[in-house]
Amino acid sequence: MLIVMEHYATPENVKTVIAAIEAQGFTAQPIPGGDRVAIGVLGNHGYVDETPFRGLAGVRDFIHVTKPYKLVTRDFHPEDTVVEVGGVRVGWGEKPIVIAGPCAVESREQLFAAARVAKENGADMLRGGAFKPRTGPHTFQGLGFAGVELLREAKTQFGLPTVTEVMRIDQLDFVAQNVDCLQIGARNMQNFDLLKEAAKIKKPILLKRGMSATLEEFLAAAEYLVAGGNDQVILCERGIRTFERALRNTLDLAVVPYLKKVTHLPVIVDPSHAIGIRELIPVMSKASLVVGAAGVMIEMHPDPKCALCDGQQSLGPESFAKMMKDMEALKGAL
Ligand code: PEP
Ligand code: MN
């Protein structure tokens, strides 16, 4: 880190900052400039917290050289991380995967019907929300723990690894015992207590980008999981909120090749929540593969018009089957 001093900072101010740097166990390197002094902080092994220097007289600004994340970067770990979810490999160099299933687990009949469609059409994993983060309280909130049990039954019956969202720390253990991958959703990407506890779980985590999170914040959230002991992390781009209102969110696919450069963790795309309009999901799923995504997550419902959640963006069995055929052809071409 560089600490930039004000032009009016006195030699005494500079001395105080140097002493504060040394008090933290670092080495200070003053760099006199034309009209101000910058002081380099050397000897750190990670991100330097600027808090101890913030209130000091004559300090103007901080320039960080080390990012608030490190373990998730290729600088630290150049090789791709391959995350294994119930035997399915997810990674940059692997065959792209498809996670499919309803927004919410509604009943055994509904979940099993969706699982059958997923399985018959070659999906790699089954999704379904048991704990649902709904915008308002007067909508279907999910089946909770009973929904998690249905996911376990569906896995036994159809042999597909399962993914479901956890919203609270007290859900972690039960979900980890019953499903193959724990999702931390957009609204909880910066629930740091949840991230710290999820890091202790020995199951893969699907971390979704917050709807207003920068990529730095996204990676820093993933850093909590890896730093806490869980490097089985899949990142998911699910669209961000911009000034545009025609679509549910804005799907920025450039994130995929950018993150491929920066991180060894695999990135998948969720076009369903990004776009919110059923007809547009297949083409953007294909686009996700073209830009190199390690996979896609698709909302699919046996009868979307009756869905209790996100029916407008859910594919039905026929459109899902067609999309899967098109994706298979595309994978061959890629
Ligand atoms: C979901 O995948 O079920 C979900 C709620 O998505 P997001 O967290 O991206 O809104
Ligand atoms: Mn949904």
User: How many Å lie between the centroid of ligand 2 and the Cα of residue 325?
Assistant: 23
Q: Are residues 176 and 219 in the same domain?
A: yes
Find out whether the beta carbon of 238 lies less than 6 Å from any atom of ligand 1.
yes
Give the β-pairing of 2-5 and 37-42: antiparallel
Q: Are residues 6 and 47 in the same domain?
A: yes
Domain of 21 in residue numbering reads as 2-63
Residues 232, 224: Cα–Cα separation, whole Å: 12
Q: Are residues 48 and 87 in the same domain?
A: no
Note whether residue 194 is domain-resident: yes
Predicted confidence at residue 280, as pLDDT, reads 98
CATH of the domain at 42: 3.30.70.1140
Q: Are residues 292 and 259 in the same domain?
A: yes
Q: Are residues 13 and 95 in the same domain?
A: no
Strand runs (DSSP E) across 179-276, as ranges? 181-184, 205-208, 233-237, 267-269
Partners of 58 in the β-ladder: none
Residues 84, 213: Cα–Cα separation, whole Å: 26
Find out whether the beta carbon of 186 lies less than 6 Å from any atom of ligand 1.
yes
User: How many Å lie between the centroid of ligand 1 and the Cα of residue 275?
Assistant: 12
* Contact call for residues 253 and 288 (beta carbons, < 8 A): yes
Note whether residue 73 is domain-resident: no
Predicted confidence at residue 68, as pLDDT, reads 84
Structure tokens at 261: 């450069």
Q: Are residues 139 and 8 in the same domain?
A: no
pLDDT-derived band of residue 76, with 50, 70 and 90 as boundaries?
Answer: confident
Residues 106, 174: Cα–Cα separation, whole Å: 19
pLDDT greater than 90 at residue 168: yes
Note whether residue 134 is domain-resident: yes
Note whether residue 69 is domain-resident: no
Pocket test for ligand 1, best of 164, 182, 183 (most atoms within 8 A of CB): 183
Q: Are residues 34 and 162 in the same domain?
A: no
Q: Are residues 156 and 8 in the same domain?
A: no
Backbone angles phi, psi at 96, to 5 degrees: -60, 140
Partners of 31 in the β-ladder: 38
Q: Are residues 214 and 303 in the same domain?
A: yes
CA angle 185, 189, 192 (to 5 degrees): 130
Nearest atom of ligand 1 to the alpha carbon of 297: 2
Note whether residue 53 is domain-resident: yes
Residues 63, 53: Cα–Cα separation, whole Å: 12
Predicted confidence at residue 25, as pLDDT, reads 94
User: pLDDT, tens digit, for every residue of 205-236?
Assistant: 999 999 999 999 999 999 999 999 999 999 99
Q: Are residues 121 and 16 in the same domain?
A: no
Looking at the 3D structure of the chain, how many domains does it have? 2
Average pLDDT over residues 132-156: 98
The pLDDT mean for the chain works out to 97
Note whether residue 77 is domain-resident: no
Residues 285, 63: Cα–Cα separation, whole Å: 39
Nearest CA to ligand 1 atom 9: 186
Find out whether the beta carbon of 147 lies less than 6 Å from any atom of ligand 1.
no
Q: Are residues 58 and 176 in the same domain?
A: no
Predicted confidence at residue 245, as pLDDT, reads 95
Note whether residue 68 is domain-resident: no
User: How many Å lie between the centroid of ligand 2 and the Cα of residue 59?
Assistant: 47
Note whether residue 34 is domain-resident: yes
User: pLDDT, tens digit, for every residue of 14-68?
Assistant: 999 999 999 999 999 999 999 999 999 988 888 899 999 999 999 999 999 888 8
CATH of the domain at 131: 3.20.20.70
pTM: predicted TM-score of the whole model, two decimal places: 0.90
Q: Are residues 246 and 210 in the same domain?
A: yes
